[in-house]
Structure formats: structure tokens, C-alpha cells
Amino acid sequence: MLTAQQAAPSAKSDAEIIRGIDAAVLSRATGIARYTVQEHYALYRNGEAKPSAEETIQTVYIRATGKQYTPIAQSGSALLRASVIDRILAGEKEVNLPANREASWITSANYELQPRPGQVQRNGRTCILVDINSRRKSPHLFRGQVWVDASDFSIVRFEGSPSQSPSLFAGQTTVSRDYAKVDGFAMATHAEARSHSFLLGDTLIKIDYTNYQIEREPSARETKAR
């Protein structure tokens, strides 16, 4: 739960915080060679308590090539899975191609970053709250906030709306994502996306990420020793 922002100012300047965020994102991006994760998607319509469609995916990320998805369980509306969940997966696959990946990072190259004074508690961690505004319009860039760990600037939570609508029929869309440290890297654990469209009405998509297996990139010393 988000608590009231503490009055004590951050010990670091805005410039130092922004450099720290850039360095943390780059370290994660270059430090992971490969990972696997199980992703569970549940789609709810118009406030209903039971999901209209669900899908469990086995995801394999390889830094050199991007993401691959293998469905391992499906239920509910096949039409909704195809029109919503599969489109999300296609977008994630595109943005994680090596040629596209860097353009979606939460860094000062893609965003205007404005740290707020002081520190806040989020998900049991002491954080700095940073307002973000994309430098260009893209369905993969956002306006919103990120909470970054005050000690290492890794992302703890993200909330925002796309700077460009991801669909011709979509109205306002809001996205949130929580992260936790897995083998030293900030990895997504839960995400939610709320939107409205003429065809589907109000939709809520919940995504849970479990069973990470991470392979690190070998260090220069390890590579030389081979």
C-alpha cells in the first residue's frame, strides 16, 4: 500500500537519481542473457467477478532474439483470447525484438523524468517517486509515475497511460506493473491494464508472472576464461 510521502528530502540530486535509473535499466538489460517465466492472463469484462477468458503462457526471453510464447492452458472465450490476449502478446513480442527493445526502456532517452522530493514506502521498500512523460508518442511509452528503489534505483512499481492509444477503438487505457528482485534483477510479478472500447466495453486484464528461471550474461572475465 502506498503511504504518505515522507517529508525528509532525498539525499541525492535529481540528476543523480536520473543517472541511477538509467544505469539500473541498462544493467538489467545487459545482465540477463535468458529467462523463462510462466504468465497467467485473466480478462474481465464490465466489472464481472469471473474472467471471460484466461490463458497461461510459458515465455522464453533470449536477449539475442527476443520473446517466444507457448500456450499451456486456455479457457473461456476463444474470441476474446484472440482479440485481446493474443494482441497483447504480439505487441510484447514486437517491442522485445533486439532492434526495438531500447526504445521502450524507462530511461532519460525515452522519458522526461522528474523525481519528487523525499521518499515513500511501496511494496515494503523505500522508494523515490518519479513522474514520467514520454518524449514521443508510442503505444509502448507512457505518461505516469514509477517508484524506484532508493538504494539502487531499480523499478518497484510503474503506473501510467500510453502516450498513443494502442488500438483504434480503445479509449483511456491505464496500466500498472509491480516488480520484485529475482536473482538480483527487477522482474515483473503482477500487472493490470484497464481500458474501454466500443466493441468490448470496460475490460480489466490481470497478469501474474511466476516461476522465473534466469540465466546471466557471463562477465568479461568469465568469457575470457573459457
Note the pTM of the prediction, 2 decimals. 0.88
pLDDT for 170: 57
- Report pLDDT for 167: 62
With H, G, I as helix, E, B as strand and everything else as coil, classify residue 179: strand
pLDDT of residue 7: 42
**pLDDT confidence of residue 10:** 43
- Cα end-to-end distance, the chain, whole Å: 47
Using one digit for the tens of pLDDT, what is the confidence trace for 70-112? 999 999 999 999 988 998 999 999 999 999 999 999 999 999 9
Look at residue 172 in the predicted model and tell me its pLDDT. 77
Domain residue spans of the chain? 14-225
Cβ burial of 189 (10 Å; 0-12, 13-18, 19+) is middle
- For domain 14-225, say whether CATH 2.40.360 is its number: no
Rounded to whole angstroms, the Cα distance separating 160 from 14 reads: 21
Per-residue confidence in pLDDT tens, the chain, 226 aa: 444 444 444 478 999 999 999 999 999 999 999 999 999 999 999 889 999 999 999 999 999 999 999 999 999 999 999 988 998 999 999 999 999 999 999 999 999 999 999 999 999 999 999 999 999 999 889 999 999 999 999 999 999 999 887 664 456 789 999 999 999 999 999 999 998 877 777 899 999 999 999 999 986 554 454 5
